[in-house]
């Protein structure tokens, strides 16, 4: 199980001063944007081919419809996420009841919440030291547009997916 005690300061970052949404303190010293903790939001680069494939991967596997999705270029991100994360567009972000998770930690926590075999994959990935996990993440992220393409516009949800996407 992924515990909050295992999270380092890198894993759960406080909401920055540039945020427009107020936050409140959570265990471990981070802050939590005011949102329903049962509805974690996956923020993704809406024009990145790899990021869109990740969303396409999560949607059918999230049978309990736990996750909501929002592009980093959208108004939900501007309201809830630190401006530096939006400006850099270097990481998928998971905003949940424990804070804002970046890079490999966001991926591991998403897989864990999917359950089933993905929970086992998440636990296996969690055993890899954070610097090594994040190094792998950064290597892929650095080349993602070249390897997976860049779209002209953000992904548009299908009518069936509409309720799961935030502006």
The per-residue pLDDT for range 94-126, each reduced to its tens digit, is: 999 899 999 999 999 999 999 999 999 999 999
pLDDT in tens, 35-75: 444 599 999 988 888 888 999 999 999 999 999 999 998 99
Does residue 140 belong to any structural domain of this protein? Answer: yes
Does residue 121 belong to any structural domain of this protein? Answer: yes
CA distances from 107 to 17, 125, 160 (A): 25, 9, 24
pLDDT at 38: 56
Does residue 19 belong to any structural domain of this protein? Answer: yes
Does residue 160 belong to any structural domain of this protein? Answer: no
The residue segments making up the domain with residue 104 are 9-151
Does residue 161 belong to any structural domain of this protein? Answer: no
pTM metric for this prediction: 0.75
Does residue 167 belong to any structural domain of this protein? Answer: no
- Supply angle C-alpha 10, 16, 21, rounded to 5: 125
Does residue 163 belong to any structural domain of this protein? Answer: no
Does residue 159 belong to any structural domain of this protein? Answer: no
Which 3 state secondary structure label does DSSP give 48?
A: strand
- Per the structure, how many domains does the chain have? 1
């Amino acid at each position: 199980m992924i515990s909050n005690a295992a999270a380092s300061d890198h894993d759960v970052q406080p909401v920055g001063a540039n945020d427009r949404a107020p936050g409140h303190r959570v265990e471990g010293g981070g802050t939590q944007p005011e949102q329903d903790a049962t509805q974690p939001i996956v923020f993704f680069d809406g024009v990145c081919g790899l990021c869109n494939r990740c969303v396409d991967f999560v949607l059918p596997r999230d049978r309990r419809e736990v996750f909501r999705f929002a592009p980093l270029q959208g108004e939900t991100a501007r309201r809830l996420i630190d401006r530096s994360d939006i400006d850099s567009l270097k990481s998928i972000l998971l905003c949940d009841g424990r804070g804002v998770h970046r890079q490999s930690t966001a991926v591991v926590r998403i897989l864990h919440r999917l359950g089933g075999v993905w929970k086992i994959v998440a636990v296996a990935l969690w055993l890899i030291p954070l610097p090594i996990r994040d190094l792998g993440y950064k290597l892929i992220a650095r080349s993602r547009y070249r390897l997976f393409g860049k779209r002209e516009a953000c992904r548009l949800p299908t009518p069936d997916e509409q309720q799961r996407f935030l502006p």
